Amino acid sequence: MPIESDISDLQQIVYRAAGRQEVRRAVEEVYADLQVQIDARKPLCSASGRCCRFEQFGHRLYVTTMELAAFVYELEMGNAKPQPAWDGTGCPFQVSGLCGVHSIRPFGCRIFFCDSSSTQWQQDQYELFHARLKGLHETLMVPYFYIEWRNALRMLSVVGDAPGEAGIRAC
């Protein structure tokens, strides 16, 4: 479980970065460049919502500090809100089996496809774009955290406490 100083540090860092237009713009540019690659490859998305049911499909979503900053900025602008009856499993932004924050979803959501023919492509793109995101933290002097999505949302008080594993790593 993260200690309170970790939570306070993360909150301060994320909200400070959220207030910086150049941070938000950098994340948007990474996402736009990734979309160009997705459009070129055209991996299959069946819109089944499986990608949001982490426990059921055995995967977890991690995000960086700058992604969290861009996301919480959009939340504060009123562009999304978590489901009020979230039980702590899956994604708190899944609505009727679909992504309720599709336009502002994190990088890991953007690159994940159920298309088994694109698995290696997804891994390659993940490594490439994650390295770019990580480098932007250094360039823009934003401390780099790589944290499990739902725990980050809890630590930032975006969602309430629910069962789950802690998962914060400062690098």
Distance CA 20, CA 27 (A): 11
Domains of the chain, residue spans = 4-170
Q: pLDDT value at position 47?
A: 63
SS3 label, residue 145: strand
Parallel, antiparallel, or unpaired: how do β-strands 168-170 and 145-148 relate? Answer: antiparallel
Residue given tokens 């069962």 in the structure block? 163
Distance CA 136, CA 144 (A): 9
Closest CA to 143 of 130, 134, 154, 152: 134
Distance CA 108, CA 136 (A): 17
110-165 confidence digits (pLDDT tens): 988 777 788 898 899 999 999 999 999 999 999 999 999 999 999 998 887 654 43
Please check the confidence at residue 60 and state whether its pLDDT lies above 70: yes
**Mean of pLDDT values over 44-71:** 85
Token couple for 105: 């979803």
150-170 confidence digits (pLDDT tens): 999 999 988 876 544 344 444
Distance CA 171, CA 160 (A): 26
pLDDT, the chain, mean: 85
Residue type, 163: P
Q: Which residue has the higher pLDDT, 46 or 28?
A: 28
